Amino acid sequence: MSDLNKVSLIDTSEEEQASLVQAIPAPKAPAQKEHDTNLLDDVVEDVQPHTTTSTTIEPEIKQHQDEAITMATTTTTAKEEDWEDDKKEHPLASLSLEEYENNDPWAAQPEDNALLQADVDEDNAEAALVQQPVATTTVFDADNRQEPVAEEQLDEDTSATKGFQNFHDSDKIDDLNVKGQLPEWLVGEHFTIGPSTFDIKYTRKIEIDGELQNASAFYTFGHWFDALPLVNRFDLNGSRNSVTYRHRSTSRRLVEKIREHHGYAPQHPNALYMSNTNQTVLSKFLGSSKVNKPDAEPCAARILANIPGLEGRLFAQNYANHVQELDPFDLKPTRLLQWNEINPKFKGTSSCPNGKYDARTGEYINFSMEVGYQSVKYNFFSISDKNPKGSLLASVTAPMAYVNNFSITPKYIIFVICPILANAGGVKYNWNESIMDSFSFRPSEPTLFYVISREKGDVVATYRSDPCFVFNHINAFEDDRDGVYLDMICYPDDTIARQLTTEYLRNPSTMQPSRLVASEVRRYLLANIEEEKITYMANNSLIPSKTSVTTRIFGLFGKKQTPASSDLEYNNQDQDTNKWYSWMPIASYDKRVQPSIELPQINPKFSMYKHTIMYGLGFSAASSLKDGAIWDSIVKTNMDTKQIEASWHQDFCYPSEAVFVPRPSIGPEDEVGEDEGVLISVVMNSAKSTSFLLVLDAGSLNVLATADLERLVPLSFAHGSYRLREN
């Protein structure tokens, strides 16, 4: 129906308006099925009159309009409606940690969404989704007073499972339709990296009735982190309010290799997180002598717009010792290198994908893990534009463990070893098994904290605390009493890593345990570092350095160290003096905000210094009670008050990492606040089987702008980056 046929209340006489009032039926009660909030703009546009001048509208007509708009904006579940009717504050808006844990905001668990029985598409193994219309809206027509019009087709399956299917790649550049207004200062590029290919189809020979025939099969990566990577590039221009989008799968050559060999047998450790190679043991001895092409190695853990000291403008990293250079415009891989190619002292079979940048010194700091015959060294190094060949900061001999992150302060490197330690003396690791097959969580072992002096290049102190598992550090900063505070997202063990498999994410009803393990945001205190240096120097030889846990020292008579005095609680479960670690001082900690936050972000200008605001992905009240649910909200928390200050959530939508982009200062007198900036996230709308770019105001988490990608982009647990240009 064209806009010309819509009734304009401004152009009608009072008598005609009165007749319209009689013709318009009373609004219906809101439907029980939830409506997508993206329908709001379209619905309101149809209901509201097109006004060009100030005109008084008949009260009854105005009442119907208001009620229609109210129906259009209904996006809450039944329990949430009760909360709104009572005019109570949203339970997630201001709850403290204790209130959140002790009071279930909506006690009744919502019914699970029905999952469709998926048919496998032979080309890409994606689910064939049956779409059903679930929402209509009514517009007023001059000839027909009431006419239901289906605004759009929404899927019956609104689960997150669609975010773990293959992506259809192309080299097309898209100009996106922007709704809302980008900040004028937001001019630059935003890069994300995540999964592109989970399933690869190949042909094999089978015997049927004595004859060989071709049959199709699929090789499927077993873990979310193992899927072959997709790089997304968004060029944002706030002054023009425009966004262009380009994407590329960066391991196309590897797809052909897997198709040829019917599986993937990496020739180096840490290449897979938790996947079956579908290859024989013999393949591990048949290493290729050829140098891999740039697109033959998957680098999917992180993307960086810049690494100081390296020529190039875009880099991707993996858990192994690889850095992949990409063309920043067409995203083609152009070079593949290892850290020891920059400097032989940076040798190691794996490295950390989450290196740190010190804006004061211009240094990029990272480490590689060098596995020896009987011990393991973690080689910390720095590179910069002033020193592109880099320098070795420290070599730390420590237990062989899976370490995904670390932190830095102006004076120290804080290196945390959780007790997820090597199996069988590191034999599986050296045989190129996946990470989660090579390491096991040992709850009887402590979490170790190494404090490394950046100036002296030595370990100056070690601390211990409860066993825990960590994906991501938040920040570390020094106090004025010779101590360091360290914020991390902690789990009780490594169960969370084993829950994020392709099978569980595609079939959440089978997940074990049935809900994602809750995380804790902890703030640790490493107190009196200089004093503890004496303790460390006297006892450091007692720290096990063998690759196997069987070399642990028991029956040790050592110094018993009391916890440092602080207002933090001590939670260590094992204080026996006969343990090999009993001489270590204790890293005390407390909980800072509600559980189940991941992919934390702070204003990067506060990195290495005390911060107050932290952002991350969280759970809405309904999804927090639902089996198999994943993160569906973006949360702003206050680390001092331990409260949730704001949250963003939209029904059936699942965000990937929300990257904080600070507002640039326009002069020396322009002080930019800690939460002044925007959060940018790629969000999957499962109800529409598409994704959109979301730009939030970092202070209020109000939506500033969205841009529809017109395709579904798989969900990502990896880290993105941005690069602003001068406006």
* 155-202 pLDDT, tens digit each: 888 999 999 999 998 889 999 999 999 999 999 999 999 999 999 999
Same domain, residue pair 198 and 152: no
- Residue 719, annotated as binding a ligand: yes
Same domain, residue pair 407 and 484: yes
Alpha-carbon distance 644 to 678, whole Å? 18
Q: Evaluate whether residue 254 is within a structural domain.
A: yes
Q: Give all strands of the β-sheet with 484-491 in edge-to-edge order.
A: 469-478, 484-491, 520-526, 588-591
Q: Which amino acid is at 654?
A: Y
Same domain, residue pair 319 and 379: yes
- Please tell me the pTM assigned to this model: 0.77
The continuous run of DSSP H or E covering 203 comes out as strand 199-208
* 488-521 pLDDT, tens digit each: 999 999 999 999 999 999 999 999 999 999 999 9
Query: Of 104, 129, 156, at which residue does a domain stop?
Result: 156
Q: Which residues contact 256 (CB under 8 A, 6 or more apart)?
A: none
For residue 428, what pLDDT band results from cuts at 50, 70 and 90? confident
3-state secondary structure at position 280: coil
Q: Evaluate whether residue 353 is within a structural domain.
A: yes
Min mean pLDDT across 30-44, 140-154, 375-389, 471-485 is at 30-44
Locus of tokens 């998957």: 298
Same domain, residue pair 530 and 395: yes
Q: How many CA atoms lie within 13 A of 610 on its CB side?
A: 7
Q: Are 612 and 638 in contact (CB under 8 A)?
A: yes
User: Which whole-number Å values give the CA distances from 445 to 207, 414, 421, 428, 522, in the listed order?
Assistant: 52, 19, 9, 20, 19
Residue 452 has pLDDT above 90, yes or no: yes
Q: How many CB atoms lie within 10 A of CB 99?
A: 14
For residue 285, what pLDDT band results from cuts at 50, 70 and 90? low
Query: Of 105, 130, 156, at which residue does a domain stop?
Result: 156
Q: Evaluate whether residue 95 is within a structural domain.
A: no
Q: Are 620 and 497 in contact (CB under 8 A)?
A: no
The arithmetic mean of pLDDT across residues 525-549, rounded, is 80
Same domain, residue pair 672 and 605: yes
Q: How many domains does the chain contain in total?
A: 2
For residue 5, what pLDDT band results from cuts at 50, 70 and 90? very low
Looking at residue 130, its pLDDT comes to 33
The arithmetic mean of pLDDT across residues 99-128, rounded, is 37
Query: What's the 3-state SS for 534-599?
Result: HHHHHHHHHCCCCCCHHHCCECCCCCCCCCCCCCCCCCCCCCCCCECCCCCCECEEEECCCCCCEE
Q: Which residues contact 85 (CB under 8 A, 6 or more apart)?
A: none
Q: Evaluate whether residue 45 is within a structural domain.
A: yes
Residue 459 CA, chain-centre distance (Å), reads 31
Residue 290 has pLDDT above 80, yes or no: no
Report residue 342 as tokens.
């920059």
Please report the sign of the dihedral spanned by the C-alpha atoms of residue 325, residue 331, residue 333, residue 335: negative
Measured between its terminal Cα atoms, the distance across the chain in Å is 42
Same domain, residue pair 202 and 141: no
Residue 131 has pLDDT above 90, yes or no: no
Same domain, residue pair 578 and 637: yes
Residue 631 has pLDDT above 70, yes or no: yes
Same domain, residue pair 148 and 288: no
Across all residues in the chain, what is the average pLDDT?
A: 80
Q: Evaluate whether residue 411 is within a structural domain.
A: yes
Same domain, residue pair 546 and 657: yes
Min mean pLDDT across 105-119, 194-208, 471-485 is at 105-119
Q: Which residue in 378, 394, 400, 397 sits closest to 445, CA to CA?
A: 400
Query: Of 102, 126, 156, at which residue does a domain stop?
Result: 156
Q: Given phi > 0 = left and psi -120 to 50 = alpha, else beta, which region is 485? A: beta
Q: Which amino acid is at 140?
A: F
DSSP string, 421-475: EESGGGHHHHTT--HHHHEEE-TTSPEEEEEEETTT-SEEEEEEE---EEEEEEE
Looking at residue 143, its pLDDT comes to 39
Q: Which residue in 594, 593, 648, 653 sits closest to 629, CA to CA?
A: 653
The arithmetic mean of pLDDT across residues 409-432, rounded, is 90
Same domain, residue pair 292 and 234: yes
Residue 724 CA, chain-centre distance (Å), reads 21
Phi, psi of 724 (to 5 degrees): -85, 145
The arithmetic mean of pLDDT across residues 72-86, rounded, is 38
The continuous run of DSSP H or E covering 258 comes out as helix 252-261
Q: Evaluate whether residue 278 is within a structural domain.
A: yes
Q: Evaluate whether residue 90 is within a structural domain.
A: no
Residue range(s) defining the domain that contains residue 44: 3-75+116-156
Q: Are 494 and 404 in contact (CB under 8 A)?
A: no
* Of residues 691 and 312, more confidently modeled: 691
* 307-324 pLDDT, tens digit each: 998 888 899 999 998 999
Q: Are 431 and 406 in contact (CB under 8 A)?
A: no
Residue 50, strand partner residues: none
Same domain, residue pair 202 and 326: yes
Residue 80 has pLDDT above 90, yes or no: no
Alpha-carbon distance 207 to 561, whole Å? 69
Q: Evaluate whether residue 194 is within a structural domain.
A: yes
Same domain, residue pair 128 and 201: no
Alpha-carbon distance 600 to 662, whole Å? 15
Alpha-carbon distance 198 to 195, whole Å? 7
Residue 43 has pLDDT above 70, yes or no: no
The arithmetic mean of pLDDT across residues 246-260, rounded, is 93
Q: What is the Cα gyration radius of the chain?
A: 28
